[in-house]
Amino acid sequence: MGAGHAHRLYRHAESPVHRLPPHCKLTAVFCFVLVVVCTPRTALWAFAAYALLLAAVAAAARVPAGFVLRRLVIEVPFVAFAFLMPFVVPGEQIRLLGFLDVSVPGLWDAWNVLAKGTLGVTASVLLAATTELRALLLGLERLKLPPLIVQIASFMIRYGDVVTDEMRRMSVARRSRGFEARGPRHWGVLAKSAGALFIRSYERGERVHLAMLSRGYAGTMPVIDQATASRAQWTAAAALPSAALAVCLLGWAL
Amino acid sequence: MHVPDGFINAPVSVAAGVVAAGAVAVALRGARRELGGTSHAARHGGERAAPLAGLVAAFVFAVQMLNFPVAAGTSGHLLGGALAAILVGPYTGVLVVSVVLLMQAVLFADGGLTALGVNILLMGVVTVVVAYALFRALVKVLPRRRSSVTAASFLAALVSVPAAAAAFTLLYAIGGTTDVPVGTVLAAMVGVHVLIGVGEAVITAATVGAVLAVRPDLVYGARGLTAPLKLRVGGELVDAPAPAPQPAPVRPPRSTRTVWGVGAATAVVLAAFVSFYASTSPDGLERVAADQGIDREVRDHGLAGSPLADYGVAGIDDPRLSVGLAGAIGVAGTIAVGTGVFTVVRRRRDARRQDRGTV
Amino acid sequence: MSSGLGFVPSLDVRGLAYAYPDGHQALFGVDLTVERGERVALLGPNGAGKTTLVLHLNGILTAGAGTVAVAGLPVGREHLAEIRRKVGIVFQDPDDQLFMPTVREDVAFGPAAAGMRGERLERAVRTALERVGMAEFADRPPHHLSFGQRRRVAVATVLVMEPEILVLDEPSSNLDPASRRELADIVRSLDVTVLMVTHDLPYALELCPRAVVLSEGAIAADAPTGKLLADRELMRRHRLELPFGFDPAATPAPPRRPGAR
């Protein structure tokens, strides 16, 4: 589910969105999604307005529509689920296309889940596309996430590729000896690889710890970079959730 | 099963976030203890939690990409909650899975940002806690052998996945944004996840077994199961005298009882849930078959066009309730018997130890 | 620091013995003195206790018996931070050593942990990276570098601390010949005491005028590298083998640097 590589999501460009400090962006995206989730589902126009807002951000960030759409694939399992809803939700039935009986509340449910989910994924994709990995970690740190969590996350990012490479080498070694996993019969072999991978990862963790101690680590990471934000940057980042909030309030009022 | 934005309403999402944050805070504290204990370097002001948990998180992240082929063209992969709990301990397990979920949400848009709390609660906390509680309970009951650890891993992983699905249904019942009947959601979620759980269980048990065979000392859940030292006396192997009891900083004695209680309660609840629905709803495979047969069922049911109509809509009918109760009673009985056996075994073992002491 | 320190050896190990918690004893009384500015090769078969010895030099392991002193400072709990600054260990696998997200942050880790900040930190990082020729890679993630580049960055991460003694664990392993030579050039250009743990005997001869053999947890020989490698009986006894066709007598030994610094 979490397949894919971090650096593939980031799209390097010079844009006002890229330049915003990471913690401002994280806050903005979170507030935006929260507002979207709170919007009444019958306010169809509000969702259109949200989509336009995100399109504006994407344009400002020079992220092409195709890129965002491709990343939306991650939603697919859940879209399938949404498509079942009109069939399983009880309530008033209508006939679509002359042969398909579906329930009206089910259609609303499907719409609600799809619209909000898609807007959420799009906002997250835009965040990941305009913020470097390192900056995201700094942003999380700035947002007062416990330092240990941020450290673990940054080790995970640093060694994610190393461990994945080890896994790939094991796979090459297996196939070089004529092994091809074709079904549950071969799970034992794959699980042995997974076990070996765990042992290697854990032992590497111990060696990394020694290397850290050797360079003066005493439990806290030294502060090297710090994400800072000016009032103007906060204001710029607040534009998205504020506009969304206005739309949402209108949606409730109308 | 990453829950996206907008599926659970905002108040419940926020509440789940608060609970998840609390759980992670507890896990942070516990993980320091779990990861700090064994190293000779630890006493030199070493804080091992960050690098070790980070590497384990990288491992969980990588192993989720390892494809296990099921049949032509399809494959599954590990969720890793139960595996992490058994290999590195429950606190570190919660922490590591939570960090993986956080990164997936922020970097890959996998799972909604507002649903992060829900996702951590389900996949991080419920999966890990259920798996570990059940695992410990089983390890206590089963004979002290490596194969027991593997068997316990299997059952722990098997139950942990549908347990998370059941927990999802609970959240859905409180704060779901759609009108799908709770019964249907439960049946569908648990049904599908029982299937996933079988795969998870096989892979988890095999992986734990593989680590156990090479580095048993690294399997957190199997600590204290190492074979007693032997001495060669006059050409025959005899048990070495038990070493002085080691200070156990990791697990205060009180917690075994807690874990045991939680495990027992979980087993009862799950059994009730599962048998409750198993009685009328077919298992995952049959469900797929039912999906195939949509056309034929359309006319039979009042709920036209619903492939899931079989799972009932009205909520609870009596026969199912009775079966559910039966399941609960069955498990309670099993636990009672298990506890009895366990107590007898322990008594005998204690007695044997005393005998040895007098020799 | 007073000028009197010039007479204190960079490293002074006396009677060092150590057993792991599981009872396995790895060191049985090691005596080793390395003068300031010397480059010494530490040779020995697998399992001789080389890594165990190295982990004592910066206090990751503490001596069961005997003492270790770095520039006159005994290695112990009270001076741990300063000892770790003075002893720069470059571990064998650069992936273990480079644990931060970018090269620049990795090099900055040590000095920042010691409290350095701001412009001074930036300057120190830049200088260290320039000394190993990696300045233009500062903002790259370590994972995107070649193995040789990663090892050079690993050297920079300890150079930035301006260590009293640089400890290299198998510096030439896994390097292609060009990277191997580049690393040798870097080591030669440095004005620090070097202790090099290696199986690569030609590399030891090329870089280190003096060599010691650690065997079965104790120092078994201590001599000029060329002479030591030419002693067939000694070499055979300690499972040391020269590569096929390599003749230490035909290679000019590096000049001893009399009292560098």
Q: What is the pLDDT of residues C112-122, one digit of tens each?
A: 888 888 899 99
Q: Which among B155, B150, B121, B120 has a CA at the least distance from the CA of B263?
A: B155
Band (pLDDT 50/70/90 cuts) for residue A178 is: confident
- Cβ of B54 and A37 within 8 Å? no
Q: What percent of chain A has pLDDT over 70?
A: 97
Nearest to C113 among A159, A211, A216 (CB): A216
Which helix (H) or strand (E) segment holds residue A95: the answer is strand A93-96
Residues in chain A: 254
Dist. CA C64–CA C75, nearest whole Å: 13
Strand residue runs (E) in A154-202: none
Residue C247: partners with Cβ closer than 8 Å, 6 or more residues away: none
With beta carbons less than 8 A apart as the criterion, state whether C58 and C164 touch: no
Domain ranges of chain C: 11-238
| Predicted pLDDT at B32 | 82
Residue of B86, B106, B200 to mutate, testing the A interface (most A Cβ within 10 Å of its Cβ): B106
Q: Which residues of C touch A223 (CB under 8 A)?
A: 112, 117
The rounded distance, in Å, linking the Cα atoms of B172 and A53 is 30
Tokens for B275?
A: 């048998």
Question: C43 pLDDT exceeds 90?
Answer: yes
Asked if residue A245 has pLDDT above 70, the reply is yes
The pLDDT, as a whole number, for residue B143 is 85
Q: Which two tokens stand for residue B264?
A: 């027992």
CA distance B290 to B282: 9
Report the percent of chain C where pLDDT is more than 70. 94
Chain C stretch 117-176, residues whose beta carbon is closer than 8 A to a beta carbon of chain B: none
**From A133, A213, A216, residue closest to C114, measured CB to CB:** A216
Furthest C-alpha separation in chain B: 82
Domain B10-30+47-224+255-355 class in CATH: mainly alpha
Pairing relation of β-strands C39-43 and C210-215?
parallel
Instruction: Determine whether C29 is exposed, middle or buried from the number of CB atoms within 10 Å of its CB (0-12, 13-18, 19+).
Output: middle
In chain C, the residue whose alpha carbon lies closest to the alpha carbon of B42 is C60
One-letter amino acid at C146 equals: S
Q: How confident is the model at residue B293 (pLDDT cuts 50, 70, 90)?
A: very low
Taking CB atoms and an 8 Å limit, are B306 and A87 in contact across chains?
yes
Mean pLDDT of B64-84: 77
CA distance C186 to chain A (A): 21
Q: Round the average pLDDT of chain B to a whole number and report it.
A: 70
Asked if B177 contacts B7 with a C-beta cutoff of 8 angstroms, the reply is yes
pLDDT exceeds cutoff 90 at C151 = yes
Subunits that touch chain B (at least 3 Cβ pairs < 8 angstroms)? A, C
Q: Would you say A21 and A228 are in contact if contact means Cβ atoms under 8 Å apart? A: yes
Identify any residues that bridge with A96 across adjacent strands, giving them in sequence order: A100
How sure is the predictor about B98, in pLDDT bands with cuts at 50, 70 and 90? Answer: very high
Question: Measured between CB atoms, does B43 come within 8 Å of chain C?
Answer: no
DSSP bridge partners of C194: C39, C166
Cβ contact C20–B40 (<8 Å):
yes
pLDDT at B112: 84
CB contact under 8 A, C21 and B44: no
Q: How far is B336 from chain A (nearest CA, A)?
A: 34
Q: Any bridge partners for residue C32, and if so which? A: C13
Say whether pTM exceeds 0.80: no
Could you tell me the pLDDT band of residue B345, with boundaries at 50, 70 and 90? very low
Q: What is the pLDDT of residues C157-203, one digit of tens each?
A: 999 988 999 999 999 988 999 999 999 999 999 889 999 999 899 99
Write down the domain spans for chain B.
10-30+47-224+255-355
C121/A224 CB distance under 8 A: yes
Q: Residue B40: its chain C contacts at CB < 8 A?
A: 20-21, 61
Q: Quick check: C48 and C242 in contact, CB under 8 A?
A: no
User: Which of A224, A226, A228 to probe by mutation at the C interface, max C CB count within 10 Å?
Assistant: A224
User: Which residues in chain B are closer than 8 Å to C80, comparing Cβ atoms?
Assistant: 44-45
CATH code, residues C11-238: 3.40.50.300
How many angstroms away from the CA of A16 is the closest CA of chain C? 21
Residue B192 has a pLDDT of: 83
Partner B, chain C 1-40, Cβ-Cβ below 8 Å: 20-21
- pLDDT category, B297, cuts 50, 70, 90? very low
* The most confident of B27-31, B106-110, C15-19, by mean pLDDT: C15-19
C-beta atoms of A214 and C89 within 8 A? yes
| CB-nearest partner of C60 from A155, A210, A218 | A210
pLDDT at A54 exceeding the cut of 90: yes
